Structure 1
Amino acid sequence: MTLLQASEKDLPETGSGGLKGLLGKAYELLTSSDGDGRAGRNALIAFMIRIVSAAIAFISQIVLARMMGQHEYGIFVFVWVLVILIGNLSCLGFHSAQIRFLPQFEAANDVERIRGLTATARLFALMSSTAVLLVGLVALHFAQGLIESYYVMPLYIALFILPMIALGDTMEGTARANSWAIAALSPTYIIRPVLILLFMLAAVWFGAAQTAQTALVAGLAAAYVTTVGQFFNITWRLRRRFDRGPAKVEFAPWFRVAIPIFLIEGFIFLLTNSDTVVTGLFLAPSEVAIYFAASKTMALVQFVYFSVKAATAPHFSALFAGDDREALAKFSGQSVRWVFWPSLLVGLTALALGNILLGMFGEGFTAGYNVMVILFFGIMCKAAVGPGEVLLTMAGQQSLCVKLYVVALAANIGLNLLLIPLYGIQGAATAAALAMLVEAVLLHVAVRSRLKITLFVFARPLTARPVREDV
């Protein structure tokens, strides 16, 4: 049996085979009122938002790169990646712990805990990110002599963006837990990048310099406008869905679950962004700009994975809580196909148009085409096992996930430190691709051994009893 035959055999029966059958199953999911249908609709909504987001982000980055030039653009993207990374990590996992708990609380009609958890997550995000802001100000003051002068002022500006990044991620987690896909994703992935571009253009129109510092001030304003608006929107939605009343806070149990999630997602986030960060530490801003342009172009592929991840997490949690092992295995295999085949199509299209797309950023950016090719192979390795870490986390296997990502992150950082000084931006791409391969293999083995599910696009998922590990 060929791989293609195995893949087709594993597709759900819909009255006909091949592409027609797959389309029939997609229609069935999108019109169904059960859990699979809701997850399918959320996946489609998230997918469409990611398509629009990818287009907006790509266009805005082209405009910013052409306005600022390679050097200033390289400074901006390096600092912006740092602020997004640190802002997300400062939540310490509470933003995603909501996705683990809220569907279960709602299924049990435990409204008091829902109120307590959503309020606690917001307050914690603001307090922890503000603490990071204050520590960062002190550290930057005393470390100025060790930092390139062109990074100092952009880093100061970036520190004041941190609280809004953390609160925005928390609002996104609340919305995702309630399956509000549009409210969850559109502020971060559509509204904020549009506002950054508009504020930058307005600043330049009124005479501001076309520099990284100006772009980061635009980012600061956009982050505050977007997050404050999202805060009031999600608060209004929660009050409509759940009546006012007392709140029950169980901080210690929630925190015990949030920390492993923080470690898992932190390692994933570091895996995703460490190449840009290490590139910024070793190479000139102009080379950072080229690498970021190439990786941003390949992000057109990764939005498929993140869209499916955003939609499937609550359903994974509900299936495992309901002990429906057959449905869990079936949905797991389905989620892998949702990731892999669209990723393959988008990736091949991006490579075919690679030089044209990179050329839009400005002169010299086509030097990043080989980076695109290398990253594509790594992305497809990860796509072949789909959202494996989400399945493990929602099944209570946080501790195992932490161990897996310790290994993957160690490999990633070690490879970056080894290859970037030797091979520059191509070394960074190779390190990132190899780290994604390591991650995919570890997730495949872990899901198969603990949950008895074969998480691979060309395999049929198994449905033996999983190992339950409540943390």
Structure 2
Amino acid sequence: MTQTSLSGNSDSFNFSALVKDVKVVLILKLTGLLLVYLVKVFLARWMGKTEYGIYEYVISWSLLLAIPAGLGFPSTVLRLISEYRVKQDWARLGGIIRGSLLLTILASIFLCLVSTALILLLDHYYSFAYTKPLLIGIWLVPLQALVQLFLETARGMKDFTLAYAPSLVISPILLLSGGLFFLQRNHALRSITTIEMAMVMLAIALSFQLWLLWGKLNREVEQTTPIYNYQEWIRIALVLLLQAGFTEILNQTDIVMVGSVIGAEDAGIYSAAVKTAQWVAFALQTVNIVVAPAFTTLYLQGDRQELQKLVFKVTVWIFWFSLAVGTILIIFAQPVMGLFGSDFVAAHWQLKILVLGRVVDSLCGSVGTLLIMTGYQNKMVFITGYAALINIILNAVLIPIFGSIGAAIATSLTIAMWNVWVGLVVIKNLGIYPSVFYGFLGRKGNRALDSSPGNNSSN
């Protein structure tokens, strides 16, 4: 593990250390993304578009429901662990780790029981087609919630390898190996079998991660009686839960609505285009993982000049990578989608439209992370909530008219609108110019800071 750019014992910012951290996360994310992509390609080929579509439909629901099951604690844990490490408040640090784990498990089980009852009720009155896969797949929700909790806990402990390797590397390898085993044994791979296999493999990866995480906690944290400050934690978590929920709605609405309005086959094909377009956002997601604490540190220190320089640098990094990947995907859209199978080539236009939306995302830089990490999470929740509502409306209008192409248009328009809106709020409240266009101005952009309207208030 590299020396972190923001250590637990210092508020100083080290740009060279941040670059090293980015490289570590880049390797992990790239490896994980390649593995996840290979898993999707092979599963699509082994299962066929119908069975694969059912599998993706269930996975999308499990990811969506994992957000409320987590109660907002993943983001809360990341923020508070970093704070408690700086203050050396080991009692509350131990409390937040144990308390968040307990509450997440209890909330997940409760949500699964309620969801099971609703699925059975729906099937009783309407003979729901996806009843059996959903009844099994709903129990992925606790595992998906724990994935995010363990990931953010490890990030808070400054261990990026422990944060990402289990879910992005170990779990996909196990799933791919299991899929190959069942394919050779049964000469077919059904959606229900794959869902059950995904549950087992994810549980194995999470158990390994928890074992390592607990060992790290015992080594690095002074052993003391935990303090459980549930009232404060829940107050923080509720706001961040809303933000996470709205974000996940933005990420999953198009796939879920394509599956509900058109059918599982189209959902599976469209999902492949969505996952492929996410390659464009790879640099943005990777940089945000490492740079988020730096935004907080520089903002609290009142060093707006250094914060603007950091924003310039990371935005330019993000833009060039995203532009290169986006150009390649647009030019080679058909052969890339053909990797999933001949039936998936038809989604090449969906891929092109989604890529354009992701390129706009890169133009605006880390606006969302910048707003949240500087204390404007309430404004962020407001914007993301409206964007989620607009996204649902656009999908509801465009999917019946244009099919899955309408879903791609709705999603890309929403991404563009969200980025512009958040970017304007960043400029107004922070006086920081996040767009890549300001980054290209270089020193001119820095001189603009002297007359910018930013302030240090938080909401």
TM-score (norm 1): 0.89
CA distance in 2 between partners of 1:209 and 1:94 (Å): 39
Whether contact under 8 Å (1:39, 1:312) holds in the other structure is yes
CA distance in 2 between partners of 1:241 and 1:223 (Å): 27
Query: 332-341 or 61-70: which moved more?
Result: 332-341
Over residues 48-95 of structure 1, what are the superposed CA-to-partner deviations in whole Å (9 max), with x where a residue is unaligned?
222112211221111111111111111111111111221133212111
Q: Which position in structure 2 is the counterpart of 1:125?
A: 104
SS at match of 1:458: helix
Q: Indicate which of 204, 210, 218 corresponds to 1:225.
A: 204
Indicate whether 1:431 and 2:401 are aligned. no
List, as ranges, runs of 4+ consecutive aligned residues in structure 1 with deviation greater than 6 Å. none
Query: 368-377 or 348-357: which moved more?
Result: 348-357
Cα 1:334/1:371, change in 2 over 3 Å = same
Amino acid at match of 2:293: P
CA distance in 1 between partners of 2:193 and 2:222 (Å): 44
Query: 342-351 or 458-467: which moved more?
Result: 458-467
After the TM superposition, which residues 286-301 of structure 1 pair with which residues of structure 2 at under 5 Å, given as runs? 286-301=265-280
SS at match of 1:179: coil
Q: Which position in structure 2 is the counterpart of 1:14?
A: none
Cα 1:326/1:429, change in 2 over 3 Å = same
Q: Indicate which of 152, 171, 187 corresponds to 1:173.
A: 152
Cα 1:338/1:124, change in 2 over 3 Å = farther
Gaps of 5+ in 2: 6-11, 439-444
TM-score (norm 2): 0.91
Q: Tell me by how many angstroms 1:332 deviates.
A: 2.3
Cα 1:129/1:470, change in 2 over 3 Å = farther
Over residues 294-343 of structure 1, what are the superposed CA-to-partner deviations in whole Å (9 max), with x where a residue is unaligned?
11211222222221121122222233333332222222222322322111
SS at match of 2:158: coil
What do you get for the CA RMSD once the two structures are aligned? 1.9
Cα 1:125/1:445, change in 2 over 3 Å = same
Q: Which position in structure 2 is the counterpart of 1:8?
A: none
Q: Which position in structure 2 is the counterpart of 1:271?
A: 250
Amino acid at match of 1:170: L
Over residues 219-267 of structure 1, what are the superposed CA-to-partner deviations in whole Å (9 max), with x where a residue is unaligned?
1111111111111111111221112112222222222221111111221
Query: 195-204 or 366-375: which moved more?
Result: 195-204
Whether contact under 8 Å (1:179, 1:311) holds in the other structure is no
Whether contact under 8 Å (2:64, 2:248) holds in the other structure is yes
CA distance in 2 between partners of 1:148 and 1:76 (Å): 19
Q: Which position in structure 1 is the counterpart of 2:60?
A: 81
How many residues end up aligned between the 2 structures? 440
SS at match of 1:422: helix
Cα 1:189/1:409, change in 2 over 3 Å = same
Q: Tell me by how many angstroms 1:375 deviates.
A: 0.7
Q: Indicate which of 413, 425, 441 corresponds to 1:446.
A: 425
Q: Which position in structure 2 is the counterpart of 1:421?
A: 400
Q: Which position in structure 2 is the counterpart of 1:106?
A: 85
Amino acid at match of 2:192: Q
Q: Tell me by how many angstroms 1:469 deviates.
A: 4.4
Whether contact under 8 Å (2:133, 2:191) holds in the other structure is yes
Indicate whether 1:361 and 2:337 are aligned. no
Whether contact under 8 Å (2:329, 2:355) holds in the other structure is no
After the TM superposition, which residues 369-448 of structure 1 pair with which residues of structure 2 at under 5 Å, given as runs? 369-448=348-427
After the TM superposition, which residues 57-96 of structure 1 pair with which residues of structure 2 at under 5 Å, given as runs? 57-96=36-75
Among the aligned pairs, what percent are the same residue?
26
Q: Tell me by how many angstroms 1:466 deviates.
A: 4.3
Q: Indicate which of 197, 201, 205 corresponds to 2:180.
A: 201
Over residues 356-388 of structure 1, what are the superposed CA-to-partner deviations in whole Å (9 max), with x where a residue is unaligned?
121121122111110111011110111112221
CA distance in 2 between partners of 1:338 and 1:388 (Å): 14
